[in-house]
Structure 1
Amino acid sequence: MSTSAYLVRMRPAAASLRAVALLVLLLVAFFVSAGLFSPLLLLDNVRQAAPLGVVVLGQAIVLMMGRLDLSVGATASMANIVLCAVFAGDMANTGPAVALTLGAGALVGLANGLMTTKLRIPSFLATLATSMIVAGLVVFFTGGSPRGAVPAGFRVVTEAWLFGFVPYSALIWLALLVLLMLLVHFTMLGRKMILSGANLVAARHSGIPSDGLIVLAFVLSSLLAATGGILVSAITGMASIGVGNGFTLDSIAAAVIGGALFSGGVFLPLGAMAGALILFVVQSLLYLLALPPAAKFIVQGLIIMLALALASFRKEKSS
């Protein structure tokens, strides 16, 4: 591939730029309301938004395939329970704790993918059922009282800053974003996934194993949801049932704000990152303004409506 072709693929999409522009406006409003501007405060917001941001990347992958994953919240919550239980407060258990947590997440994604492709269950129903099963299993095995804790040595994943300036969790988020961008936009596998998401029938007629790619997308989504659960665990340091439940709706909202389409065929990692930060900044801004919690959902819904309206307008204008 020529250098110019690489540059074209790396150029941010219009939807991503719109999301970034909205994020900048919200940041200006946030710092004006706070009465100060601090780069460290900005990076601390990025640090706290990292768990949601990682989950959004997985949701964006599934949306790229024209599907929806309603199990990411339950998967993140399960990851918190599994990680804390295996860790049991002992840093020596790091390897088994992380491996088992990611393995459990991958199994959830595999189940979602197989139900969607083999049983032909619509993805929103399949993943809704999975989320209920996972949540039920967590309550059953914990008896409603989860045990275990994340050792202090592991909490540096979200609490420590590289050179005292860049949060480790932000670096993890950025690394995953770059890896997914390279996978989707710079490999043959990724191009096949985009084609399958944009036109499943045409992809199958072209000999592309679309079912396998859909399963892969769900596995990636659940792995990223489990990773988000690990980051949340590093922040809280303890097990808590349902700690990641809010990720489900927030991840869909952030992905849509970032330019994702329910019809599939689009993966915008920069937009997904901006979308996650937008939701977090909105929440922080509402807190500063002392507005009620219900205002978050109203503002979030209005932002999604605006993002979808702009996307539809641009699509009609180009057609």
Structure 2
Amino acid sequence: MTFSAVLSNAKPAGATWRALGLLAILLVVLFVFSGRVSVVQVMDNARQAVPLGLIALGQALILMMGRLDLSVGATAGLANVVLAASFSGDMDNMAAALAITVFFGLLVGLANGVLVVVLRIPAFLATLATSLVLAGAILVYTGGSPRGSIPAGFRVITEGWVFGILPWSVVIWIIASLLLLAFVHYSLAGRKMLLSGANARSARRNGIAADRMVIFSFVLASFMATLGGIMLSSITGMASIGIADTYTVDSIAAAVIGGALFTGGVFLPLGAAAGALILFFLQSLLYVLSLPPAARFVLQGSIIILALALSNFKKDR
């Protein structure tokens, strides 16, 4: 790949710029109505947005393949329950707790991939079924009362700051975004995934195992959802049933606001990050304006419509 091609791939897409612009407008509005928006406040919101941001990255990968994953919220919830139970409040259990949690997350992704590719079940139905199975399994395992806790030593990943400037969790989010960006756009396997998402039939004609790419994308998405669940567990310090249920819809919203297309073939991690931050700053704005929580859904839906309308307008031109 030439240097000019690398620069072309690294340059944010128009949809990403629009998402960043919308984020900037939201910050200005928040500043106008609250009287101030400090760097610490922005970073604290970013810290809380990390779980959604990581899950949205995985959802963006699935959208890149022209599919949807409706199990990411349940997968993050599973990670929360398994991690807390495996830790049992003891930092000495960290290696085993993380290994067990990631294992179950990858297993969910593999199951999703097999259901979609081998059994030919539409992705949204397969992952919806998976989410229901996970919800039931969590209830059976916990008996409705999750046990265990996250030790204080582990919670530094979401409570600690690097030189008082960036939360550690935001650094992890940035690294994950850059790694996925590099993988998708600059590695052979990633470009095969991108081509498979854009046109699976054409990819197969060119010798690409498109079905394997689909399975791999679901495994990656579940890994990101698991990582998001781990971060969420670090923030809360405990397990809670249904703690990540809303993240399924929110992850789709964040990815779409950031420029993801349901037709596939596009991966914009910076846009997905902007989308996740927009959703969290919306909550801050609602609090400042003393609006009811239901207003969040109205604003969120309006932003998605605006993002899709702008995307379609640009394509028509």
Q: TM-score scaled by structure 2?
A: 0.99
Question: Cα offset for 1:40?
Answer: 1.1
CA deviation string 1:280-309 (max 9, x = no partner): 111111111111111000110010001111
**Distance in 2, Cα, partners of 1:299 & 1:37:** 20
**Distance in 1, Cα, partners of 2:291 & 2:271:** 27
Match of 1:19 in 2: 19
Q: Which residue type is aligned with residue 187 of structure 1?
A: S
Q: Which residue type is aligned with residue 298 of structure 1?
A: V
Q: Which residue type is aligned with residue 86 of structure 1?
A: S
CA deviation string 1:21-80 (max 9, x = no partner): 000000111122221131111111111111100000000000000010000000001100
Match of 1:48 in 2: 48
Aligned residues: 317
Match of 1:235 in 2: 235
Q: Is 131-140 or 286-295 further displaced after alignment?
A: 286-295
Match of 2:102 in 1: 102
Match of 1:193 in 2: 193
Q: How does 1:89-238 map to 2 (within 5 A)?
A: 89-238=89-238
**Distance in 1, Cα, partners of 2:59 & 2:263:** 14
**Distance in 2, Cα, partners of 1:154 & 1:242:** 22
Question: Cα offset for 1:206?
Answer: 1.1
Q: How does 1:83-94 map to 2 (within 5 A)?
A: 83-94=83-94
Q: Is 294-303 or 3-12 further displaced after alignment?
A: 3-12
C-alpha contact (below 8 Å) 2:30/2:37 kept by paired residues: no
Match of 2:291 in 1: 291
**Distance in 2, Cα, partners of 1:288 & 1:97:** 39
**Distance in 2, Cα, partners of 1:252 & 1:72:** 10
- Structure 1 unaligned residues grouped into runs of 5+: none
Q: Let me know the Cα RMSD of the aligned residues.
A: 0.7
**How much identity, in percent, do the aligned residues show?**
60
Match of 2:4 in 1: 4
**Distance in 1, Cα, partners of 2:16 & 2:139:** 39
**Distance in 1, Cα, partners of 2:121 & 2:235:** 36
**Distance in 1, Cα, partners of 2:97 & 2:33:** 41
1:303 lines up with 2:303 in the alignment: yes
Question: Cα offset for 1:2?
Answer: 2.2
CA deviation string 1:261-298 (max 9, x = no partner): 00000000110000000111111111111111110001
C-alpha contact (below 8 Å) 2:27/2:37 kept by paired residues: no
**Distance in 2, Cα, partners of 1:283 & 1:197:** 33
1:253 lines up with 2:274 in the alignment: no
Q: Which residue type is aligned with residue 146 of structure 1?
A: P
Match of 1:316 in 2: 316
In the TM superposition, structure 1's runs of 4+ consecutive aligned residues that sit over 4 Å from their partners are none
- Structure 2 unaligned residues grouped into runs of 5+: none
Q: Which residue type is aligned with residue 138 of structure 1?
A: I
C-alpha contact (below 8 Å) 2:77/2:244 kept by paired residues: yes
DSSP-derived class of the 2:240 partner: coil
Q: Which residue type is aligned with residue 259 of structure 1?
A: G
Q: Which residue type is aligned with residue 196 of structure 2?
A: S
**Distance in 2, Cα, partners of 1:234 & 1:262:** 32
